[in-house]
Amino acid sequence: MYIQVETHIYLPTYILEYVVDGRVDPDMFLSKATPARFLEVILAFYPHFDFTQDAREDDELLRKIFIEMVALRLSNVVMPLDVHTGYFQAPFNTPVLSEPQQSSKRVNSSADIDVSRTDMFNSNCLAYLRVGQYRHAAENITCFTNTYTFLNQDEILEISNACGDAEDNLHDTLSHLKGAYHVIDRIQLLSRQPDITPTEASNLDHRLKVAITGLRLNQQMFDSAVRDVGFLLALVEHHENRFVKHQSTPEKSGPNKKTTEQDSTPPEKSV
């Protein structure tokens, strides 16, 4: 998985109204901030969150997200002494590790923000999808759905994204395989020339053996890439079908009853 290091964040100037001793006071922010300000600060840290209109106006939801996901991170921000623009760049006291290019996450209610669920999926499932360990990820998804019953829309989307990566890899391995055949055919054509010398023939024979070894490796990589794509397509289809089945079964959300509102719009459940 690719990890990026964040050293700063852009925040609205009004956040300075809540600074005490060089740090934002979360309690002060909670007591005085409006829903619009909660939303803006949350999006500064989680720009991939896509809030519905109802969620944007849900003060209780925004406070919950701020407390569980933002307050601690905000306390890591070093506030500048003097700012003259609407937004300012503030450094983190300690660099933050994060995953780049996170998929958009629809937020409609508090049910869509389950920190424990997100952490479990990201660490046990998504981490392996991102590095191509698809079968390990699938095994962990089985354990995940033993707890949460089914995969929601965002979780299934991550498998679909992994499938896209696997298809790109398949395309690359096909290109390498074609290149390997090209090299072998070219060597064989050269070795059939009537005026070839014994030394040239010996060199070509050596090159051919090396090329055949490379061909076998490329063939193995291609076969593995084909299997990966087929496996992920099946995994996506399986969880989409499980999701649909869950939708048609009223009030059955599994062991811990952890459904999400977003789950009642798109794809799926357990492996």
pLDDT of residue 21: 82
* Token pair listed for 141: 């998804």
Spell out the domain ranges in the chain. 4-107, 141-264
CA distance 155 to 157: 5
Neighbouring CB atoms inside 10 A of 261's CB total 17
Q: What are the distances in angstroms from CA 114 to CA 152, 237, 262?
A: 12, 24, 12
CA distance 10 to 79: 11
- 162 and 129 in contact (C-beta within 8 Å)? yes
Q: Which residues have CB under 8 Å from 154's CB, separation 6+?
A: 103, 105, 106, 262
Helix 134-148 × helix 198-247 angle, to 10°? 10
CA distance 176 to 165: 17
- 75 and 25 in contact (C-beta within 8 Å)? no
CA distance 91 to 107: 28
Q: Which of 20, 107, 18 is nearest to 69 (CA)?
A: 107
CA distance 263 to 243: 8
pLDDT of residue 45: 86
pLDDT of residue 94: 60
Bridge-based pairing state of the strands 49-51 and 19-20: unpaired
CA distance 228 to 223: 9
Output b/e per residue, 52-71; b: 16+ Cβ within 10 A: eeebeebeebbbebbeebbb
pLDDT of residue 179: 96
Give the class (CATH, top level) of 141-264: mainly alpha
CA distance 237 to 123: 23
In which residue ranges of the chain is pLDDT below 70?
1-6, 81-104, 109-111, 249-271
pLDDT of residue 271: 38
What percent of the chain has a predicted confidence (pLDDT) above 90? Answer: 43
Strands (E), the chain: 4-12, 19-20, 23-24, 49-51, 87-98, 105-107
